[in-house]
Structure 1
Amino acid sequence: MLLPWFPESPRYLLIEKGNVHATVTALKCFRKKGNIQAEVEEMQEEQRSLSSIKTLSVRHLLMDCSVRWQVVTIVVVNIGMQLSGIDAIWFYTNEIFRNAGIPEPHIQYTTVGTGAIEVIAGMLGCFTIERVGRKPLIIGGFLFMGLCCAGITVSVLLQAQFPFMSYMSVGCVVGIIAGFCIGPAGVPFLITAELFKQSHRPSAYTVAGCLNWLSNFTIGFVFPFLEVRN
């Protein structure tokens, strides 16, 4: 309901549409303070450099050797984002808690707490990404998720002998979500925009989005079968 009142992307308005007035109007919505004119001039410079270059199709993007490592980067981070198993955690959180031995009446409160941790971790990532950097956040997030996955494995194996291990399992699930939200959740989308210029950007987002959702579907479909076999 709020989207009609949101300003359009200034870079799109200037580079794709050539509408300077609309660009300045949109920038004023985003930049209450600061030198808007300098940013407009920077975008105009990019527009001049791209004036003779058409937007690349996905096929041409994949064949362009000059952006090979950029394409490899977005492929790896977007597939890795989903193959980390985060959507299996989100889709089947209640079932995981139930199998971990959490009493049924307590599961809803555990889920609410997990959502709160998700919000806090996401905000932490937003406020630290410029200071810490993209690479440390995404690598650190994946490493922490890996440790928590190992913790879940250990707790599930030992919970029959040690009942308190069920709570360790819950803590590890929360840790996986927190680690994901701090870095891997947002960095792939951000670096896709930063690695490509305007002529390559739409196709790069198409590739990244398709791989992301295909991996998402794969995890959501395969996880129940893996859980049953285990």
Structure 2
Amino acid sequence: PVGNLSLEDATEAFTEQAQALASGGVDVLWLETLSSKEEMRAAGQGAATTGLPVVATMTFDTNGSTMMGVSPMELVGLYREMVPRLVAFGANCGIGAADLLGALLAMVKQLDERDILVAKSNCGIPAYVDGRIQYSGTPELMAEYARLSLNAGARIIGGCCGTTPDHLKAMRLALESHQKSDVPDIDTVVGELGPITEGTRARCLDMHDRPETGRVRKGRRRRDR
């Protein structure tokens, strides 16, 4: 989304990719790690030329918004504006499961029963360990993330960077045995998945929930995994 590329040229490029994928026999077009409204519109318009179902997700950072400043609530508005409408939308990648849940909680306030919300979190944060990249999220943590995502209203739940077959197995087993319950609050998310950034917490709190001092409440300590 940075540079001199016009909306028209971007749409043309996305159209070329979408048409090639459609010719190859794909069943759905999945647009992810988007960060600007213009990028999402261009990708959506290009994908729509195929007539295939289209899903789009944005990535939210430490400010509780995308790197181009789009908030989770603005994503809901953009989803409602797009024609034809996406079959599903939500969040992917990011800085960990807890912050992605925070983005979902900010969005779920504006959803109705027809909306299909996507949760596709990174498996923790990458680190260079013993000569290779390793992600911090355990299968147990990702299983809890899957349960909380379902409670939060997500209907498509998966993993992004760092997610392995072991993580996916744990998530699948967790979802198969889980009975959906109440939407968690942000402190429950912190208690189960670990700390979130101040920006994400701010997105999840209504103004009347903020302490008068301007300081945010601290969540419960994450359980050891």
TM-score between both structures, scaled by the size of structure 2: 0.22
Structure with greater Cα Rg? 1
Indicate the structure whose relative CO is greater, using CA pairs within 8 Å and at least 6 residues apart: 1
Q: Which has the higher helix share?
A: 1
TM-score between both structures, scaled by the size of structure 1: 0.21
Q: Which has the higher strand share?
A: 2
